[in-house]
Amino acid sequence: MRTSRFHTQLPLNAGETLILDAKLSHYMLRVLRLQSGDRVILFGGDGREFRATLQGCDKQLAKVEIHDFRQPRRESPLHVRLGQGLSRGEHMDASIQKATELGASAIVPLICERSSSMNKERLGKKLGRWRQIAISACEQSGRNRLPVIDEAIDFETASRRSDSACQLAAVRVRDGRIVDQACWRIRPEPFYFSQANIRIHGITPDDVRGE
């Protein structure tokens, strides 16, 4: 029988007893109907996986006893950073899932000319959904490292011209975690902004006029 795998952001240490969060507890106890004594595998995204045993529940929160850990070499030796154009409906979800299962280290959603229009709030919600899809794909495929899924970006930030960027951002990632980041505003030439692009990133001509 296949042992169920679960990702958690809680610190994992061999020999300790851990009470899981409400969302994961509900999934384990109510959806999968796991019972006390069932064995599970927990991983935090750093490459290690911990064997654990379900010890019942404490106020509807699952309690597990953590045993030893191992660090299997399942990751591809290639560092693959995928630029994925935003697609409609479930197509983007499927792209994130398959890219994660195939071993992508990072996924960058790209806003293209024919991508469906989404404001910052909707893009933020989508980003949370895509990251959860990647976690589920890691749980199912056996990966112990989560791919980095960046904020959606476009190459024609101010207008449809390829040289019209109005903001540049850089992120430094180490071991799957953001350790440093910086952002700069740019005055595009010619000095023209598309209202459609402003609705996406929220940067106006006044924000970069003095750059």
Q: Using one digit for the tens of pLDDT, what is the confidence trace for 48-65?
A: 999 999 998 877 899 999
**pTM score, whole prediction:** 0.70
- Helices 90-101 and 120-141: crossing angle, nearest 10°? 40
Mean predicted lDDT score pLDDT of the chain: 86
Residue 2 is encoded by which pair of tokens? Answer: 């296949």
Question: How far is residue 99's CA from residue 81's CA, in Å, rounded to a whole number?
Answer: 10
- Sequence-ordered alpha helix ranges (H) in 10-169: 22-26, 90-101, 120-141
Q: Give CA 157 to chain center in angstroms.
A: 23
Residue 115 scores a pLDDT above 80 = no
Q: What is the mean pLDDT of residues 172-178?
A: 75
pLDDT of residue 144: 94
Residue 124 is encoded by which pair of tokens? Answer: 């933020």
In the chain the beta strands, taken as DSSP E runs, fall at 4-7, 17-19, 39-43, 49-58, 61-70, 81-85, 106-111, 148-149, 153-154, 167-174, 177-185
pLDDT of residue 40: 96
Q: What is the dihedral of CA 32, 37, 43, 47, to 10 degrees?
A: -130
Residue 42 scores a pLDDT above 90 = yes
Residue 199 is encoded by which pair of tokens? Answer: 């609705």
